[in-house]
Structure 1
Amino acid sequence: MSDTWLVAGLGNPGPGYAGNRHNVGQMVLAELASRASASFKNHKANAAIAEGRIVPGGPKFVLAKPNTYMNLSGGPISALLKFYSLDPSRLIVLHDELDIPFDTVRLKFGGGHGGHNGIRDTIAHLGTGDFTRVRIGIGRPPGRQPAADFVLRDFSSDERTVLPNLLVDAADAVELIATEGLPAAQLKFHTAG
């Protein structure tokens, strides 16, 4: 069995979106790429990828940022799974989650899209929801602010002081899933208090 994992960080392309809450999955990829001393380069699957191992002899990670908008993420992810001959069970998708409090990481395998357009498109392209999700909590918008506006805004200054810890936690979760399995990672991140 392959020791390779495809880790896709969802978000929108371009510098104007880089600091948005919706792009937190791609922010985690930057942390993982730094750990693996890997740099992103464009791939024919319409994604920027970085390949490497975080620990010598450990699993190989293919870190992928689709070059498409969030709601069209599935095409590049599907193409990369085919290119690397990987089953969807070797896919970890990093994405923002409104229904989880900010600064919280939750992990799951399978299930529906929960209203998340990037996950919806990925499931549609793969024909299955059987992949691992690292759900990065961004919390609900304040007051009556529409969710669509909230996710396309940058993190607040208060949130930005905590954000580096959240990115490290999510990156740690990816490493743990790949080395010890999802149940061990869930035990660590779902019981952390």
Structure 2
Amino acid sequence: MYIIAGLGNPGKQYAQTRHNVGFDTIDILADKYNISVDTKKHKALCGKGMIEGQKVVLAKPQTFMNLSGESVRELVDFYKIDPEEELIVIYDDISLEPGQLRIRPKGSAGGHNGIKNIIAHLGTQVFKRVKVGVGEKPKGYDLADYVLSRFPKDERVLMEEAFERAGEAAVCMMNDTMEHAMNQFNKKTEK
């Protein structure tokens, strides 16, 4: 069984912001594979189902970004999965251009507070990640204001395609090797 956790902040005021690309990707996976992500447990909105022969739990932690580890830890413990093998976390990355993906099998938090909290709660940096590029913050911008802002209309179209690809990357990571997923999805996409 796999847990695919998309990070974000709960509440309408945060919907479709840069910080919520994980939630947006989970929504696309849920629609595509007919999984209802509407059960409240483990400090998350969860949905159980099958994706290409794999049992999965899709999760959108409701703890707010900086406490994402609380929910992820509860999910890992409840479903008794190995986080190093069966957890995939999808989240925003400001060091990547909007719409670019970066697949990683492990790594540091890179300044991302949600990931920092997950690492603290799991006690390991080894878990699969799908980073979705949201672009660098403009000079003079406050980082929090930037990641909580929405994409301009032209970028939103690009991001919708990125969420689609991020979902495909997560499925690839479950059904194939990490190397294959990285080779397929870490390429720069044409704008």
Q: Secondary structure at the match of 2:14?
A: coil
Q: Secondary structure at the match of 1:19?
A: coil
Q: Secondary structure at the match of 2:149?
A: coil
1:8 is aligned to: 5
The counterpart of 2:113, out of the listed 107, 113, 117, is 117
AA in 2 matched with 1:174: A
Q: Distance in 2 between matches of 1:189 and 1:46?
A: 30
TM-score by length of 1: 0.94
AA in 1 matched with 2:105: F
Q: Which moved more, 1:61-70 or 1:34-43?
A: 34-43
1:178 equivalent in alignment to 2:174:
yes
Per-residue CA distance 1:72-111 (angstroms, 9 max, x = gap): 0001100001111101121100000000111100010111
1:73 is aligned to: 68
The within-5 A match list for 1:13-52 is: 13-52=10-49
Residues 140, 147 of structure 1: 8 Å contact kept: no
Residues 35, 54 of structure 1: 8 Å contact kept: no
CA apart distance, 1:42: 2.7
Per-residue CA distance 1:1-37 (angstroms, 9 max, x = gap): xxx1101111101111011100001100001111220
Residues 92, 174 of structure 1: 8 Å contact kept: yes
CA apart distance, 1:192: 5.2
Q: Distance in 2 between matches of 1:30 and 1:8?
A: 11
AA in 2 matched with 1:12: N
Runs ≥4 residues deviating over 6 A: none
2:55 is aligned to: 60
AA in 1 matched with 2:129: R
AA in 2 matched with 1:26: F
RMSD: 1.1
1:160 equivalent in alignment to 2:156:
yes
Residues 97, 135 of structure 1: 8 Å contact kept: yes
Residues 98, 159 of structure 2: 8 Å contact kept: no
Per-residue CA distance 1:138-188 (angstroms, 9 max, x = gap): 010223212211100111111112121111110110010000121101011
